[in-house]
Amino acid sequence: WGSTGMMMSNWLLNNVDGWQQTMKPEAAVILFGTNDLGRIMPPEYTENMAASLRRMMADGTVPMFTTVPPKSGRDEMVYDYWLASLSIARGLKAPVIDYYAEIMRRRPNDWDGRLEKFSRYQGYQVPTLISRDGTHPSNPQEFMNNFSPEALNSNGYTLRTYMTLETYAEVIRE
């Protein structure tokens, strides 16, 4: 159904028609790019994502395009995918969930769970926005299903959920 991990933008492009026909979604939350890093370069990523979003929009689906989060040790590369995402969304007039920018705004110096200061935490339990693996959002239990300012600064999954709900509410209003 499109929620499988470890897939890349070419997989989305190859499967979007089937999902559109089967599910006929009103809206879709789209986040691809993290797994593309170093495998599918930004020009091909841009082509894959733009074509996929155009297909969705042709069927009446509103794609809510989520930008890739920062990734430990891949700053320059992630930045290129972030710019590509913004360009695609702007060109297609699609809503953007600017996850990358929000993480950088909230925690510009310590978003990365791999930092030494977080070494006592395990896996997803680190109280910053990206987990100890340096890739996935954090998810400390104490901040799950909590949308307080502290939780939004300390749980990457909660922040992403909050931003998605805000964007979807805007889509409905408009």
Residue written as token pair 């693996």:
133
Over residues 109-129, mean pLDDT: 97
pLDDT of residue 1: 64
Sign of the Cα torsion 142, 137, 169, 149 reads positive
Instruction: Give the integer Cα–Cα distance in Å for 68 and 76.
Output: 13
**Which two three-digit tokens encode residue 126?**
């680190």
For 13, left (φ over 0), alpha (ψ -120 to 50), or beta? alpha
* Cβ contacts of 50 within 8 Å, gap of 6 or more: 88, 91, 92
What percentage of the chain carries pLDDT values higher than 90?
A: 94
Question: Which residue, 128, 3, 6, is CA-closest to 72?
Answer: 128
Whether the full predicted model's pTM is greater than 0.85, yes or no, is yes
pLDDT of residue 6: 87
pLDDT of residue 4: 80
**Which two three-digit tokens encode residue 84?**
């590509």
pLDDT of residue 173: 96
Torsion of CA 155, 41, 165, 58, to 10 degrees: -170
How far are the Cα atoms of 16, 32, 44, 174 from residue 58, in angstroms, in the given order? Answer: 12, 20, 21, 18
The overall average pLDDT reported for the chain is 96
Range name among 3-12, 107-116, 133-142 with the lowest pLDDT average: 3-12
**Which two three-digit tokens encode residue 160?**
């992403």
pLDDT tens digits, residue range 53-85? 999 999 999 999 999 999 999 988 999 999 999
pLDDT tens digits, residue range 141-156? 999 999 999 999 999 9
How far are the Cα atoms of 92, 124, 149, 153 from residue 110, in angstroms, in the given order? Answer: 33, 15, 16, 11
**Which two three-digit tokens encode residue 69?**
């989060």
Which residue intervals of the chain are DSSP H helices? Answer: 9-23, 42-58, 75-92, 99-106, 149-152, 156-173
